[in-house]
Amino acid sequence: MSVLSTGTGALIAFQRALSTVSHNVANINTEGYSRQKVSFATRTATDYGYGYVGNGTKITDVSRVADQLAISRLLDSGGELSRLQQLSALSDRVDSLFSDTATNVSGLWSNFFDAASALSSNASSSAERQNLLDNANSLATRFKQLSGQLSNLSNEVNSGLLSGTDEVNRLTQQIAVLNGKIGSNTANASPDLLDQRDQLISQLVGYTGGTAVAQDGGTINVFTAGGQALVVGTTASKLITVADPYQPGKLQLAVQTQGANVSLDAKSLGGQLGGLLEFRSNVLEPTQAELGRIAVGLASSFNDAHAQGMDLYGAMGGDFFSYASPAVAANPGNAGTGSLTASYGDLSALDGQNLLIKFDGTSWSATRADTGAAVALTGTGTAADPLVVNGVELVVGGAAAAGDKFLLQPTAAAAGSLAVAITDPSRIAAATPVKASATLANLGTGKVSDVQVTDAGNADLLTPSSIEFIDANQYTIDGAGPFTYTPGQTISANGWSFVLDGAPAAGDTFAMGPTGAGSSDNGNAKLLAGVENLKAFNGGTVTLNGAVSGLTTAVGSAARAADYASAAQKIINDQAQAARDSVSGVNLDEEAADMLRLQQAYQAASQIISTADTMFQSILSAIR
């Protein structure tokens, strides 16, 4: 009986060990599976008086082979990889918009100013005028297209946040349920349940980043990268999307807690959701703002130059482009009736940053919406003394209450609103509106040059004027004066100016008057062609053309930085995966060796039972 019992116990133990090896082999391609190992121990021996006789073997444990440190490293690297891959993929799409010749703004920008330059060479040509309008419309359309594509990406971010929260909530619920099933004794838990929980935690961290912390008793709590609890024991938090108070079309994330929602930003989340929020705040919104700033700079500068010219009808130039004013949104929680009306002021101070404008009951203040850093703000808010901040002027209407807040978006929507304001090619103000001429009877060598408009809004700009030299060093304008003259100086009045080359003599006169309709003068067309090189931004240090190049470079740099970081993190994650697999992964060679060894042991145990049977038969034969 002792031999039979020993053989039977061994046979059952080896059979179950073979089942475990088979289970390992069957799950070699199962993601997150950890190799399982059978532990053997001897059964308690029997004391027969003359000594202890062994009773065979038994299985004491079927456990998974896992290194918690390696698993934690894999979780950390996996969450970071998901964040960077999301950021890289979306940044590459923005980069392609601004770098591809089929979609970027640079090509059409160059075409537009080339057309303006061509007009300056032939200002009376109707074909050149139409060409300028056509290229202007193409450029405005491209700004709208890019703005629309960026808006589509913003909608994709919203969709990603919606689907991501649904998946996070599903995962947290399942992890909480598994925590309950595994119970308070991990040592006796099913290895497959432990693997399943680890795999769900890995997927969850892939969405939110963060860490998993094992607690006494076997449960695992999961926290976001910012430390907000997602799973605590058998309780799962719920992630929700909420509308931005200032921009209802922009979704934010929050965790539902008892009685309140805790907002989560890009700093509080990692993983795919963190990557979406980081892309929106660090790449998408700055790109939208800068594209709008360039559109405003183009329209404002070109309009200013166009206003200094005269069209073929003999009228002063009006707006060539139209564009929207800065957007201001009130916080829904404002208690007062105050409102802010925004307009563009100093273009060189415009930076496109979204600002929070706050009223404390006495005075107004401004902070950056992304960082909270204070921004200088001047003025009282009246029409005569508007609030001035970053090149934007704000007029306060109604009665603001203490604590009221407003979001100022100076240029976010400007690119989508850009349009050409004229349709008649003859309305292009290519001519300088005034012209100067010397009287034929003049005795001196003075010749008029560099006629310019210094104040297009001067009411007397087109009023004829006469400049008479008393002598070589003095002159009068319409009898007013005399004024001192030095060779080469600029003579100006009524919003115009010119320079004399040569030396005027006593009695010499020069006439200044309107250019008139139908002029082929190209003076203002030259100014229009040179607008792209005006140092309009950053305090007069950056040209419009430089801003376009800078935007393309900035977007490309952000995309490359994300690509490099993603590639580096992929290597780190692969190393963490390899470290985990070296401990927990299934090795077919090792499993084959175990299977052969256990098969031989199983056959030997079968032989023990056969021997026991022979012994029984011998006894039975002896007494039969």
- Residues 360-369 pLDDT 10s: 989 999 999 8
pLDDT at 516 over 90: no
pLDDT at 460 over 70: yes
Q: What is the mean pLDDT of residues 430-440?
A: 90
Q: What is the mean pLDDT of residues 70-86?
A: 93
CB-facing half-sphere around the CA of 21: CA atoms within 13 A: 19
- The pLDDT value recorded for residue 221 is 93
Contacts of 126 (CB under 8 A, 6+ apart): 425, 426
- The pLDDT value recorded for residue 304 is 92
For 167, left (φ over 0), alpha (ψ -120 to 50), or beta? Answer: alpha
pLDDT digits (tens, 9 = 90+) for 135-172: 999 999 999 999 999 999 999 999 999 999 999 999 99
pLDDT at 116 over 80: yes
Token pair, residue 246, equals: 């200032």
Confidence of residue 472 (pLDDT cuts 50, 70, 90): confident
Sign of the dihedral defined by the CA atoms of residues 306, 312, 318, 321, in that order: negative
- The pLDDT value recorded for residue 340 is 94
pLDDT digits (tens, 9 = 90+) for 250-294: 999 999 877 778 888 888 899 999 999 999 999 999 999 999 999
- What's the DSSP call for residue 463? S
Confidence of residue 401 (pLDDT cuts 50, 70, 90): very high
Edge-to-edge strand ranges of the sheet holding 211-214: 211-214, 220-223, 229-232, 235-236
- The pLDDT value recorded for residue 562 is 95
Give the number of other CB atoms < 10 A from CB of residue 126. 11
Torsion angle, alpha carbons of 139, 145, 149, 154, to 10: 90
Residue 204 near residue 224 (C-beta atoms within 8 A): no
- Cα 368–chain centre separation: 17
Contacts of 154 (CB under 8 A, 6+ apart): 249, 250, 280, 284
d(CA 118, CA 525): 9
Averaged pLDDT score across all residues of the chain: 91
Confidence of residue 226 (pLDDT cuts 50, 70, 90): confident
Q: How far is CA 251 from each of CA 188, 229, 264, 280, 605, rounded to the nearest angstrom?
A: 44, 21, 11, 11, 67
Report field, pTM of the whole predicted structure over 0.75? yes
**Phi/psi at 402 (5° precision):** -60, 130
d(CA 154, CA 135): 29
Q: How many residues does the chain have?
A: 624
Confidence of residue 331 (pLDDT cuts 50, 70, 90): very high
Confidence of residue 442 (pLDDT cuts 50, 70, 90): confident
Per-residue burial over 499-522, b if 16 or more Cβ lie within 10 Å, else e, is bbeeebeeebbbebebbeeebebb
Q: What is the mean pLDDT of residues 231-254?
A: 91
pLDDT at 580 over 70: yes
pLDDT digits (tens, 9 = 90+) for 542-567: 999 999 999 999 999 999 999 999 99
- The pLDDT value recorded for residue 623 is 84
d(CA 439, CA 507): 10
pLDDT at 184 over 70: no
Residue 529 near residue 120 (C-beta atoms within 8 A): yes
User: At 157, is the secondary structure helix, strand, or coil?
Assistant: helix
Q: What is the CA radius of gyration of the chain?
A: 41
d(CA 338, CA 39): 76
From the list 409, 137, 112, 108, the residue with the least C-alpha distance to 288 is 409
pLDDT digits (tens, 9 = 90+) for 335-380: 999 999 999 999 999 988 999 999 998 999 999 988 889 999 999 9
CB-facing half-sphere around the CA of 130: CA atoms within 13 A: 3
Residue 113 near residue 93 (C-beta atoms within 8 A): no
- The pLDDT value recorded for residue 48 is 81
Residue 105 near residue 404 (C-beta atoms within 8 A): no
From the list 365, 369, 413, the residue with the least C-alpha distance to 389 is 365
d(CA 195, CA 188): 14
- The pLDDT value recorded for residue 364 is 94
